[in-house]
Amino acid sequence: MSLGTVYALVGIAIAVVLSGIGSSRGVGIASEAAAGVITNDPSKFGKLLVLQLLPGTQGLYGLIIGVMVMLNVGVLGGNPLPSDLTGEAIGLGYLAACLPIGLGGMFSAFFQGKVAVSGVNIVAKKPQESSKAIVSASLVELYALLSFITSFLMVINVNKTFGL
């Protein structure tokens, strides 16, 4: 295994683990808040489910980027990275490409979970306003999408940068 592949694997771990940590934290705090409301009024479960799920998308974005990198560096088939300086540079390029979704996904999921908790409080008091709560939590999703798109564009262009 080349040093470039090791760099790429570190990037994959950053993309998947950090976005997963953020998603699990965000989904967890939203679900804790929703559990209290559902205990008192089980009919609100459907309205609260979306708020609980929204912070989970960042983990999926990180996984997609991780799989894309695995495909490009030969971990899931294909050609492995060369064992020279070019391979190392490519591996560092993939590591850098994984940073936006790793960090952006982690932080946006955490803060989206906090907004979702506020939305749960809205639904607890005024269930007819659930769409406003969902829109508010969805606004944070924009930053997860920006991170995902940045990582996606970087990943698909790493090999092109080095003429491969």
Of 25, 27, 100, 96, the C-alpha closest to 61 is 100
Banded pLDDT at 34 (limits 50, 70, 90)? very high
Q: What is the pLDDT of residues 84-137, one digit of tens each?
A: 988 999 999 999 999 999 999 999 999 999 999 999 999 999 999 999 999 999
pLDDT score recorded for residue 77: 82
pLDDT score recorded for residue 112: 98
Q: 129-144 burial, b for 16+ CB within 10 Å, e for fewer?
A: ebeebbebbbebbebb
Mean confidence (pLDDT) of the chain: 95
Distance CA 54, CA 135 (A): 11
CB neighbour class for 101 (10 Å; exposed up to 12, middle 13-18, buried from 19): buried
Q: 46-61 burial, b for 16+ CB within 10 Å, e for fewer?
A: ebbebbbbbbbbbbeb
* % of the chain surpassing 70 pLDDT: 99
- Which whole number is the average pLDDT over 55-81? 94
Assign 77 to helix, strand or coil. Answer: coil
Residue 9 has pLDDT above 80, yes or no: yes
Residue 159 has pLDDT above 90, yes or no: no
Residue 11 has pLDDT above 90, yes or no: yes
Q: What is the pLDDT of residues 136-152, one digit of tens each?
A: 999 999 999 999 999 99
Whole-model pTM: value is 0.93
Banded pLDDT at 164 (limits 50, 70, 90)? low
User: Integer distance in angstroms from the first to the last C-alpha of the chain?
Assistant: 19
pLDDT score recorded for residue 163: 62
Whether residue 99 contacts residue 13, with contact meaning beta carbons closer than 8 Å, is answered with no
Please give the structure tokens belonging to residue 60. Answer: 């999926």
- Angle at which helices 85-125 and 3-13 cross, to 10°: 0
